[in-house]
Amino acid sequence: MSTKQAKANLNNIKMQAANEVGVNLNQGYNGDLTAKQAGSIGGQMVKKMIESYEQSAK
């Protein structure tokens, strides 16, 4: 997987995670998010990446 493809996949996971926790993200700058919102997105991203890894390891 190329670096460009990996970044695109990670961005896709981020957007899905934000949508799932109810945070509206814009393309580009999102510096107006609260720490709670950013943490919620990050936590959801980790959950999704762990689930993906566990599914691929089977």
Domain boundaries defined on the chain: 34-58
- The DSSP code sequence of 5-50 is HHHHHHHHHHHHHHHHHT----SS--TT--HHHHHHHHHHHHHHHH
Q: What is the DSSP letter of 16?
A: H
* pLDDT single digits (tens) 1-55: 799 999 999 999 999 999 999 999 988 899 999 999 999 999 999 999 999 999 9
Q: What is the pLDDT of residue 58?
A: 75
Which burial class, exposed, middle or buried, applies to 18 when counting CB atoms under 10 A from its CB (0-12, 13-18, 19+)? buried
Q: Which of 44, 46, 28 is nearest to 36 (CA)?
A: 44
Q: What is the pLDDT of residue 1?
A: 77
First vs last C-alpha separation in the chain = 20
